[in-house]
Chains A and B, each alone.
Chain A
Amino acid sequence: MRKFSIVAATALVAAAGLVLSGCAAGGSGGSDDKAEIRVWLNGTDTPKEAREYLTTTFEKQHPGSTLKIEEQSWTGLVDKLTTALSGSDSPDVVEVGNTQSPAFTTVGAFMDLSSKKKELGGDDLLPGFVEAGSADGKLYAAPYYSGARLVFYRKDMFAAAGLEAPKTLDEYVADGEKLASANAGVSGIYAPGKDWYNALPYIWENGGEIATEKGGKWTSSFSSADSVKGIEQLQQVYEKASTAPKDGDETNPQVPFCANQVAQLSAPSWVKGSILAPADSDTPGCPDLESNLGVFALPGKSGGAAHVFAGGSNIAVSNKSKHKELAYDALKIMLSDDYQTILGKNGLVPAKKSLASTLGTDDVAKAIAEAAANSKLTPASPKWADVESSNLLQDFFSAVAQGGDVKSLATELDKKIDAILNK
């Protein structure tokens, strides 16, 4: 036993020595002419074509250097970025959700891009996203893309039920119930309980708000009369129109859609690409549904497009990056007209207003234009990211989906959100 411990101690020291020297070797490549740049992209949102364009263009511009894309999952991203960006092994360029961005821009995690704003697109950049990426009047995270939420639907199920695209939110919900009862096991409206993004329009369209600011103090208002009315309408959707798991989230909606279990799916515009992905790809879709796939912008309470959540991303250079110049060059490529055009063609709203036409003129493009015109953002508080990462919203809507009392759940939620926003 004793001998063993001594041997083990020696081995440990040797191992530690190896690890430490490994670190040193990794960190010593500090010169900016030849390096590996690590880019963190989230989910499958950025299409493959754009990734390839980024890698090849960067490596052509910087012979000897390489660019590696590391895909992160959206779930738990704030936690992961906090750890990674503050460590010595920080990625160089990171994508961050627009509503998460203030958590990092306000604490100095990103490199200041103010002096480069003009070069990146200046006033052509999407203003809402410039705001999301700025703090104290300085730009830290550039807009990357925006995505509108649209409703994808099955033309065959609509035809069988004698339906057409709904004109109001109430019609949409009624259609959902009709489709669910006409097709056993099918979601008339696919509404997993933890998908809070798609829950917001019900609140906004019924006149409610998430949270409002007055004199520096935030008031969460899920329990206001209007919000409750909206959440109760959503509860009706959960109970009568959806067969989605009450504790499921919004990831991979193409799976039930391709399994013929969904009639209407409210999802970001780029989900079209996931649904129609080749059957032999890493995340297979069902390309044979193409002619059967319809799309419209979610209708509002009194007609027109509804207020939907304006999701999207910002992109930034880590302050801890060892190769800031190279990292910035990579970021510049991602905001170039060529790269942003690829995003546009794939259903993502480009970061530059002048490139809006790259979305094309098909049904999806038209629906995006309608939805984007009326989309809304989450409360503009740097603490909002903490509300998101605390999972309060997921738990709340999941409880609503299970038939909980909306008013009392919402009152409880407001108390918790108030505490976070006014911390």
Chain B
Amino acid sequence: MNNIKLTNICKAYGETVVVNNLNLEVKQGERLILLGPSGCGKTTTLRMIAGLESITSGELEISGKLFNTIPPGERNIAMVFQSYALFPHLTVWENIIFGLKIQKLPSEEIKKRAAKALEILNLTGYESYRPKELSGGQKQRVALCRALVKQSPYFLLDEPLSNLDAQLRQQARTELVKIHEIYKPTMIYVTHDQVEAMTVAHKIAILNKGTLQQIGTPKEIYNNPANTFVAGFIGTPPMNLCKAHLLYDKIFIGNECLVLPEKYREVVKERSTVVVGIRPERCTLEKSPMVEAKTVFVEDLGNQRITRLQLKTGEEIYVSTVDHKYSFALAQGFSFEWENVCFFDVGSGKNLIS
């Protein structure tokens, strides 16, 4: 079993805690994405797994063996760096076989592996180029090549696509998934780009300020965010979050008094306030809406339209629509289905349902 397991992992530089009590498991062949804003500790976590950063406390197990103190070179992990880290003084070919030569593999084997990897990544013909003669996308592929030829069961990627422009990024994303499907390594992928996370991941782990917020499939994360941070981080525009007051079976959203269905009364229990979260695309603009609101601003993205509404209490709500049934001018507010609503604790921000 080529799995990677982190138990109570902490990383601190003096007094500053960068990663706090992290528990994670990546199963063999799984693609796990570490997602979070910059400075959340995701890269540090990846570097601890690679052995480039020491582990302050906790246990790192790879294939069931404790790996905390094993030197990085002996971990047999392939890694792709954000900057690609291609050796500028070596050609593409020399870059790719750098590690294999250090391993002292037979030259036949080295040639076979490198040629195969170059073919998969469409780099055949570029063997004698130097990194500075390549485009960004080609460099990124050479970096992938170098990781591939290692045939390591573990694949770590540190923001591998962040230096590419948007179009190339989409292409590279697809390619990456395709390559993973061929070799099925256990993969951990760090990114701050949620689109990348949603499209590549089997599972996403969201980190904030060194603490794990939620781990789950992209669907789970999207539909059922564990807390207000995840809710606000995922989705463009993110989930609408607004404070609501409760009184018996009534809930007050933007001064509007709604009846909370029986099923959810159990969830909010004796609370007097709660944060409700609704995805913008789960809201509809209506002439006679559940919640009245004023249209403030409309952004037309072509395939969708994002309408910014202001509630009577001043909070803002985004509604994203694809059909243009109601013009924003006619809309008097928005409606939603209760089953699409998330309830969060006001203090801790925790999702009350999950």
Is B one of A's binding partners?
no
